[in-house]
Structure 1
Amino acid sequence: MLSSKQLAEQLQTLQVQPGSALLVAVSGGADSLALLDLLLPLRAQMQLQLAAVHINHELRPESQAEEKRVREYCHVHAVPLDVWHWQQAAHPASGTEAAARSFRYDQFERSAQARGSDYILTAHHRDDQAETVLFRMMRSGSVHGIGGIAARQTWRGKILLRPLLPYSREQLRTYAVQHELPFSDDPSNADTRYSRNFIRAEVLPLMRTREPRVDDHLNRLASETQGLLALANVTLRRFLTFLGPKTDEFDWTPVQDEERTVQKMVLQAALQRILPGVADAQVLQALAALEAADGRTRYVRLNRQRQLAIQGACVHVEPIDAGSTTAPRARVLNCDGPGVAYRQGSICLVTTVRPGDRLLAGMCTAAPLTLRVRQAGDRIVLNDGHHQKLRRTFINERVPADVRDCLLIAARGSDVVWIDDLRLNQLLKQPATDKIKANLVYRQ
């Protein structure tokens, strides 16, 4: 069974020094109360300054009772507690999960700053890690996503710790029951309309019937990927030195003979120095311009003020003039009509997909589409069937404000059916195969 001794060893592994100030995020569930309870004997043993923070999201009628139980527990055990309320008036019409998480972590930061806490601890565990790896694979396919949840992470000047990652949800619940902790179960966790709940309730249980140790394997994948990313960052820093000391102007020649996947990673790292959060579509567009090498100057818009000018292997950042025409203008795509030139090929709406076409999205109708940048009122249909404003999607997915105005989309009226960013596009609900009447493709 879990013990405070095991947790103490884990904290030492995570480089927590005696005398540190710890802020524990306590939702009121079995996991977070078990974490706080396990820490209590360590206050004297490790001379820890222990405090807790609870967020009442005001999303369910049970929230008030859960808050009361957390308050009572902290009072009995002399744990200083901060309670923050996410007022109902601030709840968005859609994208509630992401907005709640953003509010939650903002308040964690406020409490940590006010109390002088060195560390913020959350109760993420082994099952959370497995779910996160699958969830991010499904949503983005990014190698950074497969790295999952870090056990230790520098964040906003503080350090986020997840000391329970080696332990399962079942172990934590068993501990909470045996120690009679006043935990609460959130009924919304059973709603499989949400992708993470679907993975937890349906996907992982099915995988476990074939491979009982799948959780261990997914956790190992996350851990080893984090290690590989750390090694990759060492190599990336070396490659960036090849490009020269300037971030707004560099020569791509030292990298152009590397594998394309390596080039993409280096280019993404180089562009992130200019624009943190650069979109995948912008990186690919810049890489395509470098590969063209035909003497023409090509432009990649970064934001409202700046663009990349790429000629041969020379890349430099320049301001966008007020009259610049580099922003994509709206173009109508008729089914089986002429495509719209894009990168080194064209985007087409077709009824028949040819060999070599890259499928972007399927359509339930062959009606025309418009290729353009976003407009007020644009909306998408998410994988779970919910409608969401495109603006809210950009906010939830932390797309930088300037990048939002540069992403190419395909829309029918205000309904967005494709976004030129792989990670964002995978959020969109795709029609059933038997209902597809036309396909949006990239054709070289």
Structure 2
Amino acid sequence: MTGMLIKWECWLSNCLPNENFADRLKRSQSMDRVLQQFLTANQTHHLWQSDDTVVVAVSTGVDSMTLLHLFLNLPNQQRPSLVVAHVNHQLRKQSDVEEAFLRDYCKQLNVPLVVAHWLSKDHPDTGIEAAARRFRYDFFEQVMTEYHATLLATAHQEDETAETGLMRLIEGRSMTEPLGIAWKRSFGKGDLIRPLLGISKTSIRDYARRQNLQTFEDETNTQLTTKRNRLRHQILPLLTKENPSFKHDFANNLNDQVAVNTYLQQQASLALVDIGHSVDALLRHPMPTLLLLRQAFSERVTDGMTASIELTAWHNAVDALMSAKSEFNVDLGAGWQLCRRYDEFTFKRYANNPQKNASQQQPVRETMVTLNKWTAVTETCQVGLFDASQVVTMRPDFLSVHLHVDASELPLLIRQAKATDQLALKNGQHQSVRRVLINQKVPLEDRPHQLIVTTVNNEPLWLVGRRVAVTKSDHQLVEICVRLRQGVEHE
């Protein structure tokens, strides 16, 4: 192996100046093919540089031992600083044997090793696979911080890309979101890289055999209790029987899908600049509405991160936008709603109960408003009723009107408006509060908090901030002021 490395370093650095290109090419062909693929992956996807510190996640399985061996045997000018991170999950008797082996292996090679133990008492009764993954990646992030590492390298390989793609298709993932595994993504304060994604499991096993690597096989990988194992051992063999290169072809297609989606997202992002929040512009645009809607959600709500929203929810949202309804909320799941208010669409986050969320504002009980004084209705609402001859210092957050009232109509009342309340018009007709709010395009969630001022006999006088009822009285002119702090604003 040492001789091979010396030749490789000479090839890269041109340390044999008298050697012609044909000789160098012939000599390079003797290099291990997997090592060539490993180097090519770095050149293509810009995974690491020699001045990086890389935390290598090693389980002692064939994939991760191969990953570590490849890093250790890189040419000097391309080899980053390495730190090995290992988790003893304490789920199998073999775990302690694997840990002891890796400690000895890293000691012999003078590679830093950090080990974490997931204590049995911390194992949950259910969801142990997901809990183990969380523990691992939290630990890896801690190691990165401790060693000031810029990268975490894991040993995901080509077969796992195919498995993951199938799993996500079976789960109903959209073709407009990534189905495969990314070569590189943000993680912690650095990036997570997967340099083996272009190398098949068979090639990795062959490499480990050629290099006489000692590895450990996790017997749970053959058990059919997990979805991935069922795909790996039952479904993928059938697909490979139909097409021997299925896993390789499918993995490449998934990589192409990422490139296509990246382009579509860029185009959707440009389109959204013109669309803004307009429902009409969204539906008229030639790009698929679902794609535009998902991109808007990604950019405006989750800052590029993906929320766990099922494809069915997005289809329901599109169907709702195309319906004749001018106002609605559609639950997307994961704590989000799509809201339409006439020609405007927005996304809104709600707490555990979206129905409860709509009524969080403090309700206003029917309150008597006495002449020439301020009355506190709630912590956020004050009402003042004054004779028009008095001087009232107005503030920007005041809503006020002048009203003619008879003495028999005093004191006035303020309460939350009912949809059926009727305001008198000039022509002797009446208009309901519901119709006023619809005509003024007041959002649905604001309507339950609309205030109304009435006579002592509950005759509506003023739909606060919206409309004044026509009255026949000319007895006394009063000024009523409503001050709203926080809460719903009335236009």
**Are 2:250 and 1:218 equivalent residues in the alignment?**
yes
Query: Paired residue for 1:14, among 45, 52, 57?
Result: 45
Superposition RMSD on alpha carbons, in Å?
2.9
**Are 2:200 and 1:168 equivalent residues in the alignment?**
yes
How far 1:187 sits from its partner (Å)? 0.3
* Aligned equivalents of 1:195, 1:74: Cα separation in 2: 33
8 Å contact kept, 1:54–1:81? yes
* Aligned equivalents of 2:353, 2:208: Cα separation in 1: 64
Distance 1:265 1:317, change over 3 A: closer
Query: Paired residue for 2:290, among 245, 264, 267?
Result: 264
How far 1:316 sits from its partner (Å)? 4.0
8 Å contact kept, 2:308–2:334? no
Matching residue's letter, 1:298: F
8 Å contact kept, 1:25–1:52? yes
The alignment's TM-score, normalised by the length of structure 1, stands at 0.66
Query: Paired residue for 1:69, among 98, 101, 112?
Result: 101
Matching residue's letter, 1:289: A
8 Å contact kept, 1:52–1:80? yes
How far 1:131 sits from its partner (Å)? 1.4
Distance 1:279 1:167, change over 3 A: closer
Task: Look up the match of 2:148.
Answer: 116
Task: Look up the match of 2:426.
Answer: none
Corresponding pairs, count: 321
Task: Look up the match of 1:298.
Answer: 328
Distance 1:224 1:307, change over 3 A: closer
Task: Look up the match of 2:116.
Answer: 84
Distance 1:325 1:215, change over 3 A: closer
* Aligned equivalents of 1:305, 1:138: Cα separation in 2: 24
Matching residue's letter, 1:74: C
Counterparts of residues 30-429 of structure 1 (less than 5 Å): 30-42=62-74, 44-143=76-175, 147-244=179-276, 250-258=277-285, 262-272=288-298, 273-274=300-301, 277=307, 279-280=309-310, 282-295=313-326, 297-301=327-331, 308-316=338-346, 325=355
SS in 1 for 2:289: helix
How far 1:213 sits from its partner (Å)? 1.0
8 Å contact kept, 1:25–1:122? yes
* Aligned equivalents of 2:45, 2:116: Cα separation in 1: 28
**Are 2:50 and 1:24 equivalent residues in the alignment?**
no
The alignment's TM-score, normalised by the length of structure 2, stands at 0.60
Distance 1:201 1:304, change over 3 A: closer
* Aligned equivalents of 2:347, 2:61: Cα separation in 1: 50
Alignment deviations for residues 188-208 of structure 1 (CA, whole Å, 9 cap, x no partner): 001112111111112111222
Distance 1:309 1:127, change over 3 A: closer
How far 1:135 sits from its partner (Å)? 1.6
* Aligned equivalents of 2:187, 2:268: Cα separation in 1: 22
* Aligned equivalents of 2:353, 2:240: Cα separation in 1: 59
* Aligned equivalents of 2:226, 2:149: Cα separation in 1: 33
* Aligned equivalents of 2:351, 2:86: Cα separation in 1: 49
8 Å contact kept, 2:34–2:199? no
SS in 1 for 2:340: strand
Distance 1:167 1:266, change over 3 A: same
SS in 2 for 1:299: strand
* Aligned equivalents of 2:248, 2:353: Cα separation in 1: 56
How far 1:80 sits from its partner (Å)? 0.6
* Aligned equivalents of 1:300, 1:46: Cα separation in 2: 52
Matching residue's letter, 1:108: F
* Aligned equivalents of 1:132, 1:223: Cα separation in 2: 12
Alignment deviations for residues 339-367 of structure 1 (CA, whole Å, 9 cap, x no partner): xxxxxxxxxxxxxxxxxxxxxxxxxxxxx
Larger radius of gyration: 2
Distance 1:268 1:180, change over 3 A: same
SS in 2 for 1:111: helix
Matching residue's letter, 1:310: R
Distance 1:323 1:36, change over 3 A: closer
8 Å contact kept, 2:63–2:204? yes
8 Å contact kept, 1:71–1:81? yes
Percent of aligned pairs with the same amino acid: 29
* Aligned equivalents of 1:192, 1:323: Cα separation in 2: 37
Matching residue's letter, 1:172: I
SS in 2 for 1:255: helix
SS in 1 for 2:156: coil
SS in 2 for 1:300: strand
* Aligned equivalents of 2:208, 2:39: Cα separation in 1: 18
* Structure 1: gaps (5+ residues): 245-249, 329-444
- More relative contact order in 1 or in 2 (CA 8 Å, sep 6+)? 1
8 Å contact kept, 2:34–2:203? no
8 Å contact kept, 1:147–1:221? no
* Aligned equivalents of 1:321, 1:81: Cα separation in 2: 43
8 Å contact kept, 1:74–1:80? yes
